[in-house]
């Protein structure tokens, strides 16, 4: 039963109530409380490099979650790069996304050492994948063996990309950062300013590729659905159905656009999950991913995948 942060309630969802005096929603407006008593959800968290355990509660968006974690450990929310679930390690398979299992333990990775690296773009592909934390920080999710980035040993999975050639990209979504890197000229040197997550005393080997981890979202009594905008809701959802749908959208991306990007596929799935027809979905895609200029046939095929997932009980 996942908790979803969104502007509308579905039939199977319960909006998480807000107490008077709590922060407003991510969009700036106030979030109204449920007319019935809300479930009090309490999560536990630690700083990934080591800390005491803190209690986190009373949030209904990704931004508010980061703020609550920051309050628990008396740090600024801007210090948090991203969170992992049930592991303190930089495991890209266990990133906190828009869903949070009610039994999950949160580890917050905070800013560590800042570094500036020069990269010579000898090929069109840099050999890396990028994602973001939903609140403005893009970071490296995977590094391909033998690729350009793999040859620069100071670049690691989990590093936050703060700037490219001196241009600050804080606040950009991952697909905008990927587009920026793709547009860099071949056979030229470029510079990235990176911030690595603060590390504990143990030294761990550099991770090169996205790790395959056991799916942990939706286990236990339910899942908390988190979005950058809108209220949190607790609802029943099939994470298996969602995962299969996102894989299919990734296949459609490759067929029409010649790319595979699981994060982009996930963004597209989320853009259409609460839409009722392809026209609404097309508008949502334009608002979220307008720079891609997807063809109509592509939009209809992706909408078909989302519709199939909904009919299976998503």
- Within-domain flag for 12: no
pLDDT score recorded for residue 307: 82
Q: CA 279 to CA 115: how far, in whole Å?
A: 45
Report field, pTM of the whole predicted structure over 0.75: no
Whether 256 shows a pLDDT value over 80: the answer reads yes
| Weakest mean pLDDT among 208-222, 245-259, 275-289 | 208-222
Instruction: Classify residue 78 by its DSSP letter.
Output: G
In a domain, 116, yes or no: yes
- Does 122 map to a domain? yes
The better pLDDT of the pair 148, 98 is held by 148
d(CA 120, CA 102): 45
Q: Is 205 inside a domain boundary? A: no
Q: Is the pLDDT of residue 183 over 60?
A: yes
Is 266 among the domain residues? yes
pLDDT at 39: 54
Please give the residue that has the higher pLDDT: either 200 or 295: 295
What confidence tier does 31 reach under pLDDT thresholds 50, 70, 90? very low
**Judgement on whether residues 107 and 178 belong to the same structural domain of the protein:** yes
Least confident stretch, 22-31, 98-107, 197-206? 22-31
Instruction: Spell out the SS3 assignment of 236-302.
Output: CCCHHHHHHHHHHHHHHHHHHHCCCCHHHHHHHHHHHCCCCCHHHHHHHHHHHHHHHCCCHHHHHHH
At 99 the pLDDT is 77
**Domain C-terminal end among 197, 223, 246:** 197
Helical pair 262-272 and 174-183, crossing angle rounded to 10 deg: 140
| Residue 226 domain flag | no
Same domain, 142 and 243: no
Domains: count for the chain: 2
Q: Which run of H or E residues covers position 64? A: helix 62-73
- Is the per-residue pLDDT at 11 higher than 90? no
d(CA 168, CA 141): 19
- Tell me what the mean pLDDT of segment 45-70 comes to: 91
Do 64 and 146 sit in the same domain of this protein?
A: yes
| Cα–Cα distance, 239 to 216 (Å, whole number) | 9
Residue 190 shares a structural domain with residue 277: no
Pair 92, 170 in one domain: yes
Q: What is the DSSP letter of 28?
A: S
Query: Residues 85, 160: one domain?
Result: yes
Q: Is the pLDDT of residue 169 over 80?
A: yes
Q: What is the pLDDT of residue 234?
A: 56
* 232 lies in some domain: no
CATH, residue 186:
2.30.42.10
Q: Which helix (H) or strand (E) holds 309?
A: helix 296-311
* Residue 1: per-residue pLDDT: 40
Same domain for 155 and 273? no
Mean pLDDT (whole number) for 29-51:
66
Domain membership flag for residue 71: yes
Asked if residue 299 has pLDDT above 70, the reply is: yes
Of 167, 197, 227, the residue at which a domain comes to its end is 197
Measuring CA to CA, how many Å separate 46 from each of 52, 112, 139, 195, 210?
A: 6, 16, 21, 20, 23
In this structure, are 46 and 193 located in the same domain? yes
pLDDT of residue 216 exceeding 50: no
**Amino acid 104: pLDDT:** 87
Residues 189 and 264 in one domain: no
Let me know whether 72 and 188 are in one domain.
yes
User: Which residues contact residue 66 at a Cβ distance below 8 angstroms, ignoring those fewer than 6 apart?
Assistant: 77, 80, 83, 135
Q: Quick one: pLDDT band at residue 228, thresholds 50, 70, 90?
A: low
User: Which residue range is the domain that position 270 belongs to?
Assistant: 238-311
Q: Tell me how far apart the alpha carbons of residues 275 and 283 are, in angstroms, rounded to a whole number.
A: 10
What confidence category does residue 226 fall into, taking pLDDT thresholds of 50, 70 and 90? Answer: low
pLDDT of residue 313: 56
> Are residues 9 and 18 in contact, defined by beta-carbon separation less than 8 angstroms?
no
Q: What is the per-residue pLDDT for 213?
A: 34
Same domain, 186 and 243: no
- Per the prediction, the chain carries an average pLDDT of 78
Q: Are residues 155 and 260 located together in one domain of the fold? A: no
Give the per-residue pLDDT at 194.
Answer: 96
Last residue of a domain, one of 197, 226, 259: 197
């Amino acid at each position: 039963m996942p908790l979803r942060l969104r502007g509308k309630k579905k039939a199977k969802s319960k909006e998480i109530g807000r107490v008077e005096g709590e922060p407003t929603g991510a969009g700036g407006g106030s979030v109204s409380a449920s007319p019935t008593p809300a479930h009090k959800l309490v999560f536990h968290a630690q700083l990934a490099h080591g800390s005491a355990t803190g209690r986190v509660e009373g949030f209904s968006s990704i931004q508010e979650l980061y703020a609550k974690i920051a309050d628990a450990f008396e740090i600024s929310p801007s210090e948090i790069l991203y969170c992992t679930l049930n592991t303190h390690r930089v495991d890209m398979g266990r990133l906190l996304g828009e869903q949070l299992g009610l039994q999950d333990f949160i580890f917050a990775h905070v800013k560590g050492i800042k570094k500036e690296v020069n990269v010579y773009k000898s090929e069109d592909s840099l050999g890396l994948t990028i994602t973001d934390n939903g609140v403005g920080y893009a970071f490296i999710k995977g590094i391909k063996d033998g690729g350009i980035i793999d040859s620069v040993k100071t670049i690691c999975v989990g590093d936050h990309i703060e700037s490219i050639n001196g241009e600050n990209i804080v606040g950009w979504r991952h697909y905008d950062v990927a587009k920026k890197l793709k547009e860099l000229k071949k056979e030229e040197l470029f510079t990235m300013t990176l911030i690595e997550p603060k590390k504990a005393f143990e030294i761990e080997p550099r991770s090169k590729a996205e790790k395959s981890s056991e799916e942990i979202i939706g286990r236990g009594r339910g899942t908390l659905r988190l979005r950058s905008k809108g209220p949190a809701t607790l609802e029943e959802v099939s994470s298996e159905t969602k995962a299969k749908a996102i894989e299919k959208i990734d296949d459609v991306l490759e067929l029409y656009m010649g790319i595979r990007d699981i994060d982009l596929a996930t963004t597209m799935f989320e853009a259409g999950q609460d839409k009722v027809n392809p026209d609404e979905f097309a508008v949502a895609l334009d608002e979220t991913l307008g720079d891609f200029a997807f063809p109509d046939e592509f939009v209809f095929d992706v909408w078909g995948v989302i519709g199939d997932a909904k009919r299976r009980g998503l």
